[in-house]
Amino acid sequence: MFDGQFRTQVDAAMKPIGRGLTKAGITADVITGIGLAMSVAAAVAIGAGALNLGLLLLVLTAIPDLLDGAVAKASGKSSIRGAFFDSVADRITDALLFTGLAFYFAAEGFSPWVVVLPVLGYATASWVSYVRAKADALGFDAHVGLVERAERIILLALGLLFGGNVLIVVLAAIVVLNLITAGQRFVKVWGQATAATPALSARRPRRAPRSTTTSAERRAARVERRRTLSESRRSR
C-alpha cells in the first residue's frame, strides 16, 4: 500500500538529502549497513525489555531504509547488487526484530501463544515477501495487498510505544494483515499465471486421423507392393 500510494512522494522528498549524502562520500551500501546495525541494537533493546529504547532504535533503523535508495539514485550508481543487499538486509532486520519480541515475551513470562505471535509475524511477513519476489522473478505483477514492510514497521512502532496488551494486539493484527496480503498476492499471480499458461488441449499434439480403409483393402495393397517390388528386382 505504501509503495503504491506514497513511494513517489517520499522519494522526491528524500532526493535533496540523498544528493547531500552523496557529496559527503556516503554510499547507499554504507547506509544500508548502518540500518542493519541499528536493527541489531533495536532487537537487543526489545529483548532486554527496554521498549522505549527499542522504539527509538526502530525509528533509526527505518530512516536508512528511506535514504539508501535516494543516495543510490543521486549518485547514479543504482545497481542489482545494491538492490540485492537492501532486500537481504530487510529480511534480516525483520528476523531480528521479531526475535527480540519473542525473547521479550518469553523473559517476561507471557503465555506461550503470546510468545509464538512474533514467530507467526515473521513467518507471515516472509510469505508476503516471497510471493512478490517469486512473482517478479516469473515476470508477474504482485504489487497488491493491505500491508507491506513500511506498514508493518509503523504498526510495530505503535505497539512498542504503548506496550503491554496493545503490543500483543498489534502483533496479532500484523499476522492477520500479512495473511490477507499474502492471499491477495497469491490470487493475483495465480490469475496471471493461469492466463499465461496454454490450455492442456492446446498443448497436446493433434493425432493423425485414422485410416478409413478396410482390412481387405490393406491386404490387397500389401500384395500389390510385394508384386511390384518382385517385378522390379527381376528387371534389374
The domain ranges of the chain are: 2-195, 204-234
> What digits encode the pLDDT tens for the residues 192-214?
999 988 754 555 556 655 655 66
Q: Percent of the chain beyond pLDDT 90? A: 55
Candidate list 3, 90, 136, 141, residue with the active-site label? 90
Q: How far is CA 106 from CA 49, 117, 135, 162, in A?
A: 11, 11, 36, 19
Tell me what pLDDT residue 235 has.
Answer: 44
What pLDDT was estimated at residue 38? 95
Residue found under cell 495487498:
145
Reported confidence tier of residue 234, pLDDT bands at 50, 70, 90: very low
| Predicted pLDDT of residue 101 | 97
Task: Report whether 98 contacts 120 (CB < 8 A).
Answer: no
pLDDT for 55-83, tens place per residue? 999 999 988 887 777 777 766 767 788 88
Share of the chain above pLDDT 70, in %: 77
The reported pLDDT for the residue numbered 66 is 78
Q: What is the CA radius of gyration of the chain?
A: 31
pLDDT digits (tens, 9 = 90+) for 148-157: 988 999 999 9
Q: How many Å apart are CA 176 and CA 56, to the nearest integer? A: 26
pLDDT at 58: 96
Distance CA 134, CA 141 (A): 10
φ, ψ (nearest 5 deg) of residue 111: -60, 150
Arithmetic mean of pLDDT over the chain: 84
According to the model, what pLDDT value does residue 206 have?
60
Indicate the angle between helix axes 28-47 and 80-107, nearest 10 degrees.
Answer: 10
| Lookup: cell for 63 | 530512516
pLDDT in tens, 82-96: 888 988 999 999 999
Q: Which residues contact 18 (CB under 8 A, 6 or more apart)?
A: 67, 69, 70, 71, 72, 73, 74, 75
CATH of region 2-195, choose from 1.10.10.350, 3.40.366.10, 1.20.120.1760, 3.40.50.9100: 1.20.120.1760
* Annotation marks residue 90 as catalytic: yes
Instruction: Please tell me whether the overall predicted TM-score, pTM, comes out greater than 0.85 for this model.
Output: no
